Amino acid sequence: MAAAGLLAAGLATPAAAQEYPAQTIKMVISFGAGGGSDIIGRIVAQRFQEKLGQSVVVENKPGAGGMLGNEQIANAPKDGYTLGVQTAGQIIAASMTKNMRYDAVEAFDWVGQIATAGLLIVVRPDYPHKDIKSLVAAAKANPDAIKFGSPGFGATQHMAAELFKQVAGVNMLHVPYRTSPEALAALLSKNVDVLFDTVTALLGQVQSGQVSALAVTGKDRFSAVPNIPTAMESGVLPNYDVTTWYGLFGPKGMPQPAIAKLNKSLNEMLEEAAIRERLVKAGVEVKGSTPQAWRQFMIDEYKKWSAVREKAGLEQR
């Protein structure tokens, strides 16, 4: 009877793992409604709900560059029923912050990547420097004369420009604003000269001719704007590669069967034509991963942006 009991217990374990999910899943978005992570998260949440047969509820928790939402996820029950969408903004915010209340990598289990997204470097149509090579030459000739805008100190856009300065060997003056629309308005009103921002934020203005795109910041051209060269193609920015990205994560200690099922379902949906089309329309390139590769990517990104911050002489806040 004891042996039979052990056998039954052994058989019950896989069956229990198969039952995940058995209740509603909460997906925390660490930014406000309508932003990139919110749009991407809701696309994935809806498809998860259909594939997994359980409700997936999206909860926006904005604040502190995404760290309020991340802290909520870090402290959530470790049962696989609280997930989040991680972006470059959150990992950069962590690298810019002292006295963190959670570890940016080790506080979480990493489910898998969803997508990447390029940034654009844009100027006004009447700006005299029409390409990256000309812009870099002007910045070298007149240190700090060129002003670049961003939606805030320590934002992905700000740090993309800091890395640009380091790779090009130039100085430009940073003018932070509160939001991307405010930074764009500053560019159009000639209060700043250059803007680094996401394809999603600037695509409409580029297509309408309101701004001129000099380059995309990733190492590869971006499908939404295939005619715009990469910054590296200029020949004056070797190895300059900046993308933002999106992926799923949860609190450290989630059941491994839950992580495996979530990753499998995520990668399956990323192969579906309808989901790929929705994500591309949202301004991103689809890119899945294993949990292990996604975790290593987080480690590498944290190190990368910490090094950029230190080289730029920016103090943690």
Tens digits of per-residue pLDDT, 162-211?
A: 999 999 999 999 999 988 899 999 999 999 999 999 888 898 999 999 99
Listed in sequence order, the DSSP H helices in the chain are 2-18, 36-52, 67-74, 88-95, 132-141, 156-168, 180-188, 199-208, 256-269, 273-281, 291-312
pLDDT tens, residue by residue, 247-299: 999 999 999 999 999 999 999 999 999 999 999 888 899 999 999 999 999 99
How does pLDDT run across 77-87, given as a tens digit for each residue? 999 999 999 99
Angle between helices 36-52 and 273-281 (to 10 degrees): 170
Q: Using the CB atoms, write b or e for 257-275: b if 16+ within 10 Å.
A: bbbebbbebbeebbeeeeb
Domains located in the chain, CATH noted:
24-117+243-312 (3.40.190.150), 118-234 (3.40.190.10)
| 12-26, 73-87, 133-147, 212-226, range with the lowest pLDDT | 12-26
- DSSP 3-state of 69: helix
Task: Kindly state the average pLDDT of the residues 82-105.
Answer: 95
User: 18 falls in which pLDDT band (50, 70, 90)?
Assistant: low
Summarize the confidence of residues 152-160 as an average pLDDT: 94
**pLDDT for res 224:** 85
Instruction: Determine the pLDDT at residue 87.
Output: 95
Could you tell me the pTM of the whole model? 0.88
pLDDT of 42 over the 80 cut: yes
* pLDDT of residue 243 exceeding 70: yes
